[in-house]
Structure 1
Amino acid sequence: MYRSVTRDIQVTVEPYYLSEESRPEEDQYFWAYRVDIENLGTKTVCLRARHWKIIDATGYMQEIRGAGVVGEEPVIEPGECFQYTSGCPLGTPSGIMSGDYQMETLSGERFEVEIPAFSLDMPDQQRTLN
């Protein structure tokens, strides 16, 4: 698991490889990841936007920006947690994802919350350090 805390918002990510969705012989690899966004603070927040950086094993990077997550802009009250699952295809057997969420308080203040960098690794894959 990977975890970060920004301004009392804790983001925890757990990635897992989906072998049944992947086709290594065709250079198609697929991961799912579960994200928990927990409000440890005293102010209600709304998740307005996401920004992902996805880097494959060759160094190719793609960026994804959009409103909310999984079609929602969840409101997260103090002490509450919002959880969702999404996925990521890659053309290589490993990669890295990171990013941030844009949050907004009820008073209209916007701030960014870090999504911790996490690795996407095919099970039993021999790792090479560069």
Structure 2
Amino acid sequence: MDTKTTQGVTVNVTTNYLPDYSSPAQQHFVFAYRITIQNNSEFTVKLLRRHWHIFDSNNEVREVEGEGVVGQQPVLEPGESHQYVSGCNLKTSIGKMAGTYLMERLVDGRQFYVTIPEFTLIIPYKLN
């Protein structure tokens, strides 16, 4: 599990390779990732946007940016968490992702970025 805390908001990431959706012979590797966002700050926060950098091991870099996460803009009271699952496809068996969430403190409208920790996407047999 990869974890990073920014201004009291903790992001945890776990990943899984999805062999049933992948086709290595066609250079198509699919991964799922589960993200838990925990608000450990004293303020209620809202997730506004996400910005991802996705890296294949063949030096291809993609960026994904947009509102919310999986169609939601969760509001987290102090002590609350939000969890979601999403996915990513790569052209190589090894890659990585990293990014940020744009958050807003509801009490005063102050916006800030929360770092999503860099995490590796790797098919299991490459670990041996």
Q: Where on the TM-score scale, by shorter chain, does this alignment land: which range?
A: over 0.9
Structure 2 length normalisation: TM-score? 0.97
- Alignment size in residue pairs: 127
Partner of 1:125: 126
Partner of 1:48: 48
Provide the aligned C-alpha RMSD in A.
1.0
Moved over 2 A (4+): none
Tell me by how many angstroms 1:59 deviates. Answer: 1.1
Whose helix proportion is higher, 1 or 2? 2
Partner of 2:93: 93
Partner of 1:20: 20
Opposite residue 3 of structure 1, the aligned amino acid is T
Partner of 2:103: 103
Name stretches of at least 5 consecutive residues in structure 1 with no aligned partner: none
Tell me by how many angstroms 1:75 deviates. Answer: 0.2
Partner of 1:82: 82
Question: Tell me, what secondary structure is at the counterpart of 1:41?
Answer: coil
Partner of 1:37: 37
Distance (whole Å) between structure 2 residues aligned to residue 14 and residue 94 of structure 1? 15
Structure 1 length normalisation: TM-score? 0.96
Tell me by how many angstroms 1:120 deviates. Answer: 0.2
